[in-house]
A = this chain, B = another copy of it.
Amino acid sequence: MTARQVQLIAYPSGRVGPENFRVAEVELPAPGEGEVLVRNQFTSCDPGMRLRLRESGPAGYFNSFPLNAAMDEILTVGEVVESRAEGFAPGDAVTHAWGWRDYAVVKAGQPSLGGVGTLAHIDTSLAPPEKFLGAVGNMALTAWVGLIDAAELREGDVVWVSAAAGAVGSLAAQIAKLRGHTVIGSAGSPAKVRYLLDELGLDAAFDYHDGPVGDLLRGAAPDGIDVYFDAVGGDHLQAALAALRPWGRIAMCGAISEYESTEPQPGPTNLFQAVANNLTLRGFRASAYLHRFPEAQRELAGYLAEGRLAYRETIVDGLENAPQALMRMLAGDTTGKTLVRVS
């Protein structure tokens, strides 16, 4: 059969543009022994994908996307059409990592994205398929282990979550709030700030465009913070180091403010605050904490079932618009999880 896929044709320098991609039609072989054919329904846009649009990304991170080939290792949900793998049957709802294409032949048991992207069933009685790319999927694990394991969240902590209207940030902010913490959120538009205050119920929120982030944070948390959930880096990280109280912790899940720079960006000038105040900065990737998924999912599913979790997606229609969706997300133009509806 013929299938459509988005291919990267050039590594962008600076901002990603539509000229970096093309949609290609390729011949898809029939599934072999141990493989399934999946009709993809939703595929994902994640900030970290920008790092994979480089010829050479950060050492130890997920591989760069190759040029003129399918973009592998992107989380996706779909429906099995044909199966030659034990345990999978036509009609099954699954998640896998062969995204940014309409149909995929996926080998069962082949590890992807550190296990997060390995072919697996999803339980659509719990939530609709697209939620498995968000609130009950990898985003939930990222938010949860960021707070619980990386930041070692403790009773009484005042928590600042950056990119708090985003897929991970909105979950992290709510998990902290539902666990009884004072939570400050920041985001990039007045509408997002309203979302943080009105729908997520955060204690304070600010638009980082409204002044130096350090000043805005001090205004929102005059007595300082104990935990910073960092998806932004740059001036946000600098502001956090200045605001953290003794024994404060930073969970570093990304640095979206730096991803589209052509030059490596310098780190904060006030890293010595870590020494002065016994601070911990801990980078983390959810894929390294897969053993925590059941516990994270249980907690999140509980909140969902009780109707206590607000969650938005920005859904862009059409595989051919996937690059556009990624660009909009990187520009801060989407709220919640950014998804592409493939079909």
Contact = CB atoms under 8 A, between A and B. Distances in A.
Interface of A: 51, 58-61, 233, 237, 242, 246, 252-255, 258, 264-285, 288
B277 A60 contact: yes
Contacts of A268: 266-267
Q: Which of A51, A242, A275 has the most C-beta atoms of chain B within 10 angstroms of its own C-beta?
A: A275
B281 A255 contact: no
Contact of A273 (B273, B274, B275, B283): B283
A149 to B, nearest CB: 10
A273 to B, nearest CB: 6
Nearest to A244: B60
A258 B272 contact: yes
Contact of A275 (B264, B265, B274, B284): B284
B281 A285 contact: no
Contact of A266 (B267, B280, B283): B267
Contact of A270 (B51, B58, B273, B284): B58
B279 A282 contact: yes
Given A59-B276, A274-B282, A276-B60, A266 B269 contact: yes
Q: How many copies does the complex hold?
A: 2
A281 B274 CA distance: 8
A6 to B, nearest CB: 24
Nearest to A283: B274
A281 B284 contact: no
A253 B275 CA distance: 6
Contacts of A278: 282-285, 288
Residue from A61, A254, A272 having most chain B Cβ neighbours under 10 A: A272
B60 A273 contact: yes
Contacts of A252: 271, 274-275
A51 B278 CA distance: 16
B284 A242 contact: no
11 contacts: A58-B270, A58-B276, A59-B277, A61-B276, A252-B274, A255-B272, A264-B270, A266-B269, A267-B267, A276-B285, A280-B283
Contacts of A281: 274, 280-282
A264 B285 CA distance: 30
A308 to B, nearest CB: 29
Given A267-B267, A275-B253, A60 B283 contact: no
A66 B258 CA distance: 40
A275 B288 contact: no
Given A60-B276, A60-B277, A278-B288, 16 more contacts: A58-B276, A59-B277, A61-B275, A237-B271, A255-B271, A255-B272, A266-B267, A267-B268, A274-B281, A274-B283, A275-B284, A276-B283, A276-B285, A278-B284, A280-B282, A281-B282
A326 to B, nearest CB: 19
Nearest to A253: B275
A326 B270 CA distance: 24
Given A274-B282, A281-B281, A267 B269 contact: yes
